[in-house]
Amino acid sequence: MADQPEIFELNNGTMRVLISNLGCTITSLSVPGKDGKLADVVLGFDSVEPYLKGAAPYFGCIVGRVANRIKDGKFTLNGVDYSLPINKPPNSLHGGHKGFDKQIWQVAEYKKDGNPSITFKYHSRDGEEGYPGDVSLTATYTLTSSTTMRLDMEAVPENKPTPINLAQHTYWNLAGHNSGDILDHSILIWANHVTPVDENTIPTGEIMPVKGTPFDFTTEKRIGDDIKEVGMGYDHNYVLDCGEEKSGLKHAAKVRDPSSSRVLNLWTTAPGMQFYTANYVNGISGKGGAVYNKHAGLCLETQGFPNAINQPNFPSVVVQPGEKYKHTMLFEFSIE
């Protein structure tokens, strides 16, 4: 029997998160602002149907087997050439035509008491979307404190080496999903470098210092201040090289919305983070009649570097059979 897409709730009395087994997708996340009023701070839809129909530009989901772009949809591993679907010409993006975001995952565990959590599992088969080998995956969302959510992603290749790079693609708007654009949000990113891209959005291989460029968020800065200088907006991989660490996680970003005083601190184990300002969102009908337009949200996709499989100087994303890929993210909400 085919599993049905459903939406599950994690609720600890302060924050409430709705997550679907379709792509491990966060469809809603409500946290209090300065007046104690709850607001839903993620872009999305009220039901699973629009996600199934492909109306979402990766709203809220986990993308894989390999997040971000692979140049020309090609790579070579151990002397074997692999070809992937060119679903974002001229490249392969976020796992291909039917990546992990469009698969129905199984619910392996669902805990409503204490620290509510849900674990999804998925088996990706050899040759799926052109990738080598079978891979077993789990993703666990846990409300670890009143306003903190943790995501643990794990993947084990069973029989062949394969690139693996999972990313969580939620679009955040800390003023509320229906509040307009995020240009007045400010952000601090613990990255002294970015990986610049060519005309097809593929990294050149260079690791470029952000100092003196519009990409510099090493001190907190309003997102709208320099956005006009970077084309359509930000859509760049930041090298997370200067964040403090706590319990094995690096501080990646701190986002602040002045209107609600909501703050999101993001911690991760990943080496990079795609900072994306919803440059291609245009007239999408979302939850409760909201219409999402350009810059309606921001994505903080911690990840391996884009096209790392073809860039020898980037950290490797290849995982060997029996080895375990692990990627943890911690989302800490507060009021400041």
Q: Active-site positions? A: 169, 301
Binding residues: 68-69, 169-171, 235
Give the residue among 25, 22, 29 at the shortest CA–CA distance from 143: 29
At position 127, the amino acid (one-letter code) is G
DSSP state of 316: P
Binding residues for beta-D-galactose: 68-69, 169-171, 235
Say how many C-beta atoms besides its own lie within 10 A of residue 141's C-beta.
Answer: 22
Spatial contact of 47 and 153, defined as CB atoms under 8 Å apart: no
Residue 241 CA to residue 177 CA, distance in Å, equals 30
Spatial contact of 263 and 253, defined as CB atoms under 8 Å apart: no
The four Cα atoms 131, 316, 141, 47 give a dihedral, to 10 degrees, of -40
Q: Give phi and psi for 52, each to the nearest 5.
A: -60, -35
Say how many C-beta atoms besides its own lie within 10 A of residue 4's C-beta.
Answer: 9
Spatial contact of 194 and 210, defined as CB atoms under 8 Å apart: yes
Residue showing tokens 């959510």:
149
Q: Which residues contact 260 (CB under 8 A, 6 or more apart)?
A: 33, 34, 39, 174, 175, 176
Please list the residues that pair with 118 across neighbouring strands.
110, 141
Whole-Å CA distances, 132 to 76, 98, 113, 159, 205: 11, 15, 39, 9, 24
Spatial contact of 281 and 292, defined as CB atoms under 8 Å apart: yes
